[in-house]
Structure 1
């Protein structure tokens, strides 16, 4: 038996499969830990911050997300796409990263210049005084900067599939955030304290990730104008899409606010927390699958085989998630509270839409990680037309109807990204010569 196992380990396909299983297992276990610790941190913030402070905290975090999207604008995806071409060359990979950091710095300054005045205005609108507004903005900057740097620093280790060290650091960040919150928020229940507790551990994490990245990417080269041009080409196509999704991402709440009731808003908010569980799969996909697909040689047959296998895997995962939610729908709703116990059908329909959205987003990133980006005029137009058609044929006055609208628009997104991905693969050469 030992001899048979020993022979299997010598076969490349078997060794590759074992390595993939290890990566998936490590990432999966780590993400369960991260999500669990993050859940406890979230409960601390909700329960210990006064209502007014929690409103400011929600507002600041929402603006942080918008600032991060605007400051990235597709740079990280562009760096991944360019890095996938030279991932085995430390000098060239370093050149790609340095160029990305140079662009990121300029975009970050622009994002801050646009977002800070808006945030201060919104904070004042919600009765925050000048001192509190300034403290919240100052607390936000470390979290903002650390988040931007971290996404770029992780690219080299991800391309070399050094997933385990990255996951250990993520668990450390989650634990550090919880420890800082527990040590500070009891005595100082203020928004800026909660934000700092989230940002400081990420600064520590970036120092650790930088050490790992240095083994695979040289940080001494100067920014390369040709690489900058390639990355900016992706930014021009991705930034309009990012801005559009920043706005459209709140569509469910907007529609139920206009056509529904206050109870409907609460139900949408409560059920909307459940798809956060998909974050673990998103991280797993971004850490294991995307880097491997990005560095695959540009050979039509090879890329198409991987692409189809990945799509089949995504479909099977989506089906399993929906089946699990269907089986345990009663238990899940009990966790949310007695006021939500009658929403079994809404829960299942919502998770169907969220799972299809996950497949759509994954298909989108499969394309962008290889530098394939749909013209934003086409993608945004298709999305808007899908929403208009959906609203015209679906009754969106109920929570169930809005979730059906999400299913309809998500199916359109899946079809668009899969068709575009196959179109780009067909254009590849049929062999390595």
Structure 2
């Protein structure tokens, strides 16, 4: 009787599917945990060994790096995911998509760099960096910039084909290389530019390895395709205003503190942000396993809506669990950062709430944009600017506490906007069918 019952369960399609997902998530999740732990160890090492002043410069440099990467990408990876999702089984067509994307990437990369460098130098100088230090930081940052904007496109190929193990091995090697270089260098030379260079060199090496990984699914001998370029440019034009807006608002907390706060507050928000980055494992796994599969689903309203809501419910539950842990054990968590940041018990909770909301917003966006659905940028920007101005008028943006509350307020609006836009596109699909 029992044997028959269990055989019926095993023969059910849901059993096979659950077995597949359990294995996939456990393998990917285990690798991602190792990557996260190594990255966290590197980050904590930098936080503990750099002075507050040096860590403030390190925070500004990395914040600007993320900003100009967002500007350089300007929707290109989203377009590649959408285009690649249609032809992921055809190596030659994948080659046409990727070669075309890299042509656009070169142009956007150079423009973004020309915009970002002068602004970063100004902020570094404003927060106490010498000209020599500013130049050394630039030397370390520029190769990292080109490697990361290249990676953001290259990693789409193994994600679409779900060859995630080689991708994760590469990420693991990059993070391990960074940790080794930090251990070798930063104890002797505790400077921001040393920490940046130690991060950059493994990224350049990993970028070369990642290009080789894509060879199994992308034919790099193909030529750029004008029709694909037109479609990518069309998506980029629609996303570009939002990308520009993100460059101004995405790291608004750091920019405000660098202009109106103290150098210490810049270092503090950088340290709290590093701690909150532990949650990136959820976003990374989502982008690696869920979004590409959502992109590949048939245009069936019921199926898409079910997967959309299931994915978001899972993410919300995970984030609530993390927030609960931080709320109950703030002092134990802050111990990781060291005595310099031990009095930020209220701030660490706010930082994790804000990071959770921002990651949730990004996950929702990644989910629906993988289908090629792009929110009207002017509507999104209008909503974001309005909510930001209102929040800035109400809150004290010269303090770390006030800036963290500002971050939460902005993120709440973004989550609501992206969530309902995703639903709107789903119901529009239903109306068309």
TM-score, normalised to structure 2, is: 0.85
Q: Indicate the SS of the match to 1:85.
A: helix
In structure 1, what is the Cα distance between the partners aligned to 2:418 and 2:52?
A: 41
CA distance, structure 1, for counterparts of residue 100 and residue 77 of structure 2: 11
Number of the residue aligned with 1:406 = 407
Distance 1:392 1:58, change over 3 A: closer
Counterparts of residues 34-433 of structure 1 (less than 5 Å): 34-46=35-47, 56-119=57-120, 126=128, 128-129=130-131, 135-186=136-187, 191-253=192-254, 268=269, 270-336=271-337, 344-392=345-393, 402-428=403-429
Structure 2: give runs of 5+ residues left out of the alignment. none
CA distance in 1, matches of 2:136, 2:326: 42
In structure 1, distance between residues paired with 2:104 and 2:64: 21
Deviations 1:11-63 (A, max 9, x none): 54333322222232233222322222223323444555677765554444333
Over 3 Å counting, the alpha-carbon distance change for 1:9 and 1:209 in structure 2 is farther
TM-score w.r.t. structure 1 length?
Answer: 0.85
Between the two proteins, the alignment pairs up a number of residues equal to: 431
- The 3 A distance-change label for structure 1 pair 211 and 269 is closer
Matched residue SS, 2:429: coil
CA RMSD of aligned residues (A): 3.4
Mapped contact 2:282–2:315 kept (Cα < 8 A): no
After superposition, the Cα gap between the structure-2 partners of 1:289 and 1:328, relative to the gap in structure 1 and judged at 3 Å, is same
Distance 1:156 1:321, change over 3 A: same
Structure 1 alignment gaps of length 5 or more: none
**Residue deviations 1:266-315 (CA, integer Å, cap 9, x gap):** 76555444321221111111111111111111222221111111122122
8 Å contact kept, 1:87–1:295: no
TM-aligned CA deviation for residue 392 of structure 1: 4.9
Change (3 A) 1:4 1:198: farther
How far apart in 1 are the matches of 2:213 and 2:9?
A: 31
| Alpha-carbon distance change, 78 to 270 in structure 1, aligned in 2, over 3 angstroms | same
CA distance in 1, matches of 2:195, 2:341: 29
Distance 1:299 1:175, change over 3 A: same
Report the Cα offset of residue 75 of structure 1.
Answer: 0.8
Instruction: Provide the C-alpha distance between the structure 1 equivalents of 2:218 and 2:30, rounded to a whole number of angstroms.
Output: 28
Helix, strand or coil: the match of 1:372?
coil
Measured after TM superposition, the shift of residue 382 of structure 1 is: 0.2
